Amino acid sequence: MNMFTPTDYAMMSRAILIADHGRAIATPNPFVGCVIVKGGRIIGEGFTRAGGRPHAEADALANCSESPEGATVYVTLEPCATHATSRGPACADLLVAAKVARVVSALHDPFEGVNGQGHARLREAGIALDTGLMAAEVKKQLKAFLARITTGRPYLTLKSPPALMERQR
């Protein structure tokens, strides 16, 4: 049974597209996209900014054209759950405080500071949570981050001279 609607797919596709805006600037954080929808309309969008702050969820909430209370949030990676620091509160806490009704998250974040805690915090607050939408696409998009977090090594792509020579023919 597929629990996702065509709107869910469209909004997650948009979040994936928006995430790419942070590809070159979010390091060392993953580049994440977030779309907030209320009443069938997009009311906020955001992505992970330079140096990893603000995170996509905080950026999207700050850009909302109206109150996000009761809205659905589409985010490409599990919201962080680290305790508030000088760099800002945890994204899961921001979503709880905003009183959103539902969060659709493509991927579980394997980073030790998150690792299921963001999803757990949302569930504890009574926010509906659906995960796994377009996970394959997001895994491909975040392959370098996921490799670094899960293996402790950087993700590298190498081309050998014969492969380059084949392209010149």
Q: What is the pTM of this model?
A: 0.89
Helices H / strands E in the chain, number of each: 7, 5
For residues 57 and 48, give the distance between their C-alpha atoms in angstroms, rounded to a whole number.
Answer: 8
pLDDT of the residue at 80? 92
Read off the DSSP letter of residue 22.
G
Choosing from 45, 57, 66, 112, the catalytic residue is: 57
Q: Where are the beta strands (DSSP E) in 18-160?
A: 33-38, 41-47, 72-77, 102-107, 128-131
Tokens for 167, please give them. 């392209």
For residues 113 and 82, give the distance between their C-alpha atoms in angstroms, rounded to a whole number.
Answer: 6
Per-residue pLDDT for 141 more than 70? Answer: yes
pLDDT band at 166 (very low <50, low <70, confident <90, very high): low
For residues 60 and 136, give the distance between their C-alpha atoms in angstroms, rounded to a whole number.
Answer: 23
For residues 94 and 166, give the distance between their C-alpha atoms in angstroms, rounded to a whole number.
Answer: 51
pLDDT band at 15 (very low <50, low <70, confident <90, very high): very high
* 166 belongs to the catalytic site: no
pLDDT of the residue at 41? 98
Q: For the chain, list the domains and their CATH numbers.
A: 6-168 (3.40.140.10)
For residues 34 and 11, give the distance between their C-alpha atoms in angstroms, rounded to a whole number.
Answer: 9
pLDDT band at 1 (very low <50, low <70, confident <90, very high): very low
Read off the pLDDT of residues 64-85 as tens digits, 9 standing for 90 and up: 999 999 999 999 999 999 866 6
Q: Cα 75–79–85 angle (5° rounding)?
A: 140
